[in-house]
């Protein structure tokens, strides 16, 4: 299976996927990384691995539909089967999501359905949550609402700040994202259309 990763920034989850995909028995190959920000550090990392990269700024397009059409054309140009969102900070429209339905997954830093949206770590701490975590899920038009593929739970520890909690969750993200992509790429999980 040919996989593209969509990023906006650092790309640590992207790196985890790239590393995992190096294993000879891994069922997916990372063939392209697309960013909506030209300055995303993850683009440099991807290029260092010899992976094709592209950057497309939504502001250069008249509307979201046209931006997303060009994203799909770029991905089709790489002959992509599966798209992984990894810190891609744009909400995707229905046309894009429907085009990639069942082949589009995301990592979200909470135990969904808790804490959809942004600032998940601060919100979990403010609620006095004792556990927190991350979820890899199929992407559907509703934000952070698609079926989960894998989740990992981490403890909230006394004295945690949003940053220390985010760091603990990120370790779990890097573990479950490659595992979830393995399940999807090998046909062990699927969604019904």
**Which stretches of the chain bind ligand GRF, using CB under 6 A?**
7, 9-14, 86-87, 107-109, 170, 173
Q: By Cβ distance, which residue is nearest to ligand GRF? A: 87
Q: Which helix (H) or strand (E) holds 70?
A: helix 64-77
Measured from the CB atom, the residue of 152 and 185 that comes closer to ligand GRF is 152
Measured from the CB atom, the residue of 157 and 171 that comes closer to ligand GRF is 171
Measured from the CB atom, the residue of 32 and 87 that comes closer to ligand GRF is 87
Q: Is 61 helix (H, G, I), strand (E, B) or coil?
A: coil
Q: How far is the CB of 114 from ligand GRF (least distance, A)?
A: 14
DSSP character at residue 60: G
| Closest by CA position to 90, among listed 9, 149, 162 | 9
* Half-sphere CA count of 20, side-chain side, radius 13 A: 22
Q: What sign does the dihedral 89-99-186-112 (CA atoms) show?
A: positive
Q: How far is the CB of 153 from ligand GRF (least distance, A)?
A: 15
Q: How far is the CB of 20 from ligand GRF (least distance, A)?
A: 14
Active-site option among 99, 108, 132, 174: 108
121 is catalytic: no
Q: What sign does the dihedral 183-154-111-174 (CA atoms) show?
A: negative
Measured from the CB atom, the residue of 75 and 84 that comes closer to ligand GRF is 84
> Which positions are catalytic?
108
């Amino acid at each position: 299976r040919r996989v593209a990763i969509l990023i906006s920034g650092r790309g640590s989850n992207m790196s985890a996927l790239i590393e995992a995909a190096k294993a000879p028995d891994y069922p997916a190959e990372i063939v392209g990384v697309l960013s909506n920000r030209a300055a995303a550090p993850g683009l440099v990392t991807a290029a260092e691995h010899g992976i094709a990269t592209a950057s497309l700024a939504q502001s250069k397009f008249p509307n979201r539909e046209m931006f997303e059409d060009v994203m799909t054309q770029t991905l089709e140009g790489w002959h992509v089967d599966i798209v992984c969102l990894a810190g891609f900070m744009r909400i995707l429209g229905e046309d894009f999501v429907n085009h990639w339905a069942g082949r589009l997954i995301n990592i979200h830093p909470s135990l969904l359905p808790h804490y959809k949206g942004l600032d998940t770590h601060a919100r979990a701490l403010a609620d006095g949550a004792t556990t927190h975590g991350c979820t890899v899920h199929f992407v559907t038009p509703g934000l952070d609402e698609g079926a989960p593929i894998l989740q990992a739970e981490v403890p909230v520890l006394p004295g945690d700040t949003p940053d220390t909690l985010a760091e603990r969750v990120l370790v779990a993200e890097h573990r479950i994202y490659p595992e979830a992509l393995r399940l999807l790429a090998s046909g062990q999980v699927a969604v019904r259309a």
